[in-house]
Amino acid sequence: MNWFRQNRLLGALLIAFGICTVIMLILLYWTGSKLATARGEFDKATAERARLETLDPFPNDANYHKLKDYIANYHVMLDKFKAELKKEMIPETPLAPNEFQSRLRQATVATLNRARANNIKLPDNFRLGFDEFATALPRTAVAPLLGQELSQVQMLINILLDARIDGVTSFHRMPLTEEKEPKAAPTATPAPVRAGRRGGPTQKAASPETGGLASRVFE
């Protein structure tokens, strides 16, 4: 005790060194425990990998039959869902091109009036995505399909307008495959026929005068 009082600086250094040694030992113990845990997890993962590599990758018969049952049930549920979805679809009705254009005008006016009543802003010149048919008639074969799609689009827009949204900034419709004009089969143009051999003079048909002259010479 007297020595510590006489050498306070050295004693303080010894105490600090002892504290640092204890802290270092604690850190070494903590690091060693973490290393042991990591090594154990690594050995476990290595053993699991070795076990998986030795397994047969193909399913057994029981699991294969279960998978077939799951797929069959999935197809049944999918067909049932398709049937229910088809019931909710708007049916396709015969429609002439001019009737479709008239329905498009009526649907556009009704949509604009509903949007104005609900104070909802629509894009300028809004025609429910059928802009190209505002002034042009569709083909007769595609008019019923366009009428069916027009009813579906109008129903969708009415749902949005009744929900009192802030506005519709843009609305685009993907054209139907049937809307594209069928391409005409290309007609093969006959190649010009050129008489005579390659590199040789072109033979011309003999005129009546030359034909008569040749006959007189040979006579």
Asked whether residue 191 is domain-assigned, the answer is no
pTM: 0.46
Question: Where a domain ends, among 142, 157, 177?
Answer: 177
Q: What is the pLDDT of residue 203?
A: 46
Return the closest-CA partner of residue 167 out of 208, 126, 213: 126
User: CB of 142 within 8 A of CB of 149?
Assistant: no
| Residue 216: predicted pLDDT | 37
Residue 111, in any domain of the structure: yes
119 plus 169 within the same structural domain: yes
**Residue 203 maps to a domain:** no
Residue 83 · residue 135 · CB < 8 Å: no
| Domain that includes residue 132, residue range | 97-177
31 in a structural domain:
yes
In a domain, 13, yes or no: yes
Please indicate, yes or no, whether residues 82 and 101 belong to a single structural domain of this protein.
Answer: no
- Which residue carries 């001019």 as its tokens? 98
What does DSSP assign to residue 171?
-
Average pLDDT, the chain: 79
Q: Domain check: are 82 and 129 in the same one?
A: no
- Looking at residue 183, its pLDDT comes to 59
Alpha carbon of residue 196 to chain centroid: 59
Please state, as a whole number, how many other Cβ atoms lie within 10 Å of the Cβ of residue 189.
6
